Amino acid sequence: KNEVEQSPQNLTAQEGEFITINCSYSVGISALHWLQQHPGGGIVSLFMLSSGKKKHGRLIATINIQEKHSSLHITASHPRDSAVYICAATNTGNQFYFGTGTSLTVIP
């Protein structure tokens, strides 16, 4: 069983749609990270959360510590948002547990 589970695995959306990607974890964490990877590209850190909610532009990340659940929302999606989004949990030993990623395609 994976310590971090993401859903959905694949997601196709029309430009302008509101998108939600979910992440559940089973380990004790010190932080939850959302990462973005464009095809053939590097991995970019979007958010690091330990509680509550963070917003950056059209991206919003939330975490519910009691339910061990985090969500990444994209408002007014755009084709340039097409990428793989990876949820990762870190424990107090700075060890990472990665989800398998959500492949997002936004169609113009």
Nearer to other proteins, 77 or 86 (CB): 86
Task: Give the dihedral sign, CA 31/34/39/42.
Answer: negative
For residue 24, the SS3 value is strand
**Burial bucket for residue 80 (CB in 10 Å: 0-12, 13-18, 19+):** exposed
Binding mask 32-51 for other proteins (x = CB under 8 A): -x-x-----xxxxx--x-x-
Q: Contact between 7 and other proteins (CB under 8 A)?
A: no
Query: What is the C-alpha to C-alpha distance for residues 23 and 32, in angstroms, rounded to an integer?
Result: 10
Task: Tell which positions 78-107 bind other proteins, by CB under 8 A.
Answer: 86, 88, 90, 94-96, 98-101
In the complex, the residues that contact other proteins under the rule CB under 8 A are 30-31, 33, 35, 41-45, 48, 50, 86, 88, 90, 94-96, 98-101
